[in-house]
Structure 1
């Protein structure tokens, strides 16, 4: 979680991150950008509202060569990780931040707790292209839990770009402006951590707000589609890394299939 590829031991970095989180208010006070309801903005919350959910999705079976995982945010509260680990999931993404003024108040318990029971975990950032540039949000994300360490248990941070919960769908940006914003975030995250961030999105939002950009092929794709098939992918990718197939289930948070066996999840954590 340093400004470059971490050279410190993981324990020291984790302790520093927890201290920083403890010193940071969950929501920035005073006048400024809106963060009302930010704790309810989790990966796919706006996608489900705009694109719907196929309620017939139920069986936890992703086909041969798939690995079950989930994602959580402050929306879930404190997670019972020992129980969650018994369900068979091998990885989790945890919301860390939104914009440059919100930190998930449950982040430490969710992120550290999942690590403690042996899950490979990563952090994600809910993008707010309407309030600051991509570089500023990448720095905020890394500084508040979104870094990466080559410990074999940490996934690269993820950028959650989806429908704007506060207003205009594409945050008032043209496709070219949105692509430039995302490139700024991705390049800054790469310079801080040495990893290309995962990109979380839906195909419909991507087409509408980026013009179906094809320039992010180096970033792992985490695609949201709540149906029995993953369907069309955004133009940047020929294959997906993670499919968020349901926003309901017995596990905490949303349900995901990693496109590969558990050893591929581990390989992604190592870079």
Structure 2
């Protein structure tokens, strides 16, 4: 028999209403108005205008290089964007002399085939690496030195300076291996690297010592080669009176600076008779001017 149990919830007996849930407040959604659409349109107009402007500037500034790039047919086979700048720079300096520099990295050079850049600009001079540090000798120096003279290039020999090696031994290495003749460039000191084992002050003293020893031997003041930033920050105030050969490959640097005697403007040059890329240089003057630099 079932038992008669009372309701355990007293509220149900009187029909109480259930408790209401607190409504969740919703954040009002922002409607995109005409103002935001206008700013978006302005942004895209500015972006498009910027890139169109860049394209127009590039087309005007590098018109000769672009013409060369697309010459000889619809495809620019074997050419690169670097050739655009090379041809443009050469066109802007068509009243100056053009040269190149080589080392054993260029392999065996067919000197008889070397005559121009891009088939349009004749070559007049060449700098050839001779020595490196206190005992390094470029493997191709003797062959290149003879080849340049035999093919009527104005030639110059350069020494790659190792900043942590003895400067006197480096000067002796160059003097021992390089015989300069009448009509050659003065010796060239190539300094590009920061020292790791000595201060910049001691490096500069070593460079001054190398220059003095080499100048005393050859009776002519050496040419100084370096990158523009390195020269400006570390050498300019200590070597103000030297013939300068400055490297700057910046794509947007289009003109040689008045204080530069030589400008190495690219390392991506292409020359008939030389395998691979070659450094190209411009001399800031004429044939009459360059004669005054040469060894008498």
Fold shared by both chains (TM-score > 0.5) = yes
Instruction: Give the corresponding residue for 1:41.
Output: none
Q: Is the 8 A contact 2:220 2:295 kept in 1?
A: no
Structure 1's 66 and 231: CA in aligned 2 closer, same or farther, altered over 3 A? closer
Instruction: Give the corresponding residue for 1:242.
Output: 262
Q: Give secondary structure in 2 for the equivalent of 1:264.
A: helix
Structure 1 unaligned segments of length 5 or more: list them. 1-53, 164-168
Instruction: Give the corresponding residue for 1:172.
Output: 197
Q: Is the 8 A contact 1:57 1:226 kept in 2?
A: no
Q: Is the 8 A contact 2:190 2:225 kept in 1?
A: yes
Further displaced range: 59-68 or 93-102: 59-68
Say if 2:169 is the partner of 1:143.
Answer: no
Higher relative contact order (CA 8 A, sep 6+): 1
CA positional deviation for 1:207: 4.3
How much is the aligned-residue C-alpha RMSD, in angstroms?
Answer: 2.3
2:94 and 2:108 map into 1 onto residues whose CA distance is 32
CA positional deviation for 1:230: 6.7
CA positional deviation for 1:232: 9.8
Instruction: Give the corresponding residue for 1:198.
Output: 223
Instruction: Give the corresponding residue for 1:58.
Output: 86
* Pairing 1:1-271 to 2, within 5 Å after superposition: 55=82, 57-59=85-87, 60-87=90-117, 88-132=122-166, 134-145=167-178, 147-149=179-181, 151-152=182-183, 154-163=184-193, 169-208=194-233, 210=234, 212-227=235-250, 228-229=252-253, 239-251=259-271, 252=274, 253-270=278-295
Structure 1's 85 and 193: CA in aligned 2 closer, same or farther, altered over 3 A? same
2:208 and 2:259 map into 1 onto residues whose CA distance is 20
Q: Is the 8 A contact 2:134 2:171 kept in 1?
A: no
- How does the TM-score come out when normalised to structure 1? 0.68
2:239 and 2:173 map into 1 onto residues whose CA distance is 21
Structure 2 unaligned segments of length 5 or more: list them. 1-80
Number of matched residues?
A: 203
1:77 and 1:143 map into 2 onto residues whose CA distance is 23
Q: Could you give the per-residue CA deviations for residues 118-175 of structure 1, whole angstroms, max 9, x where no partner exists?
A: 000010011012121x222112101112x432x22x1111111002xxxxx3343322
CA positional deviation for 1:177: 1.3
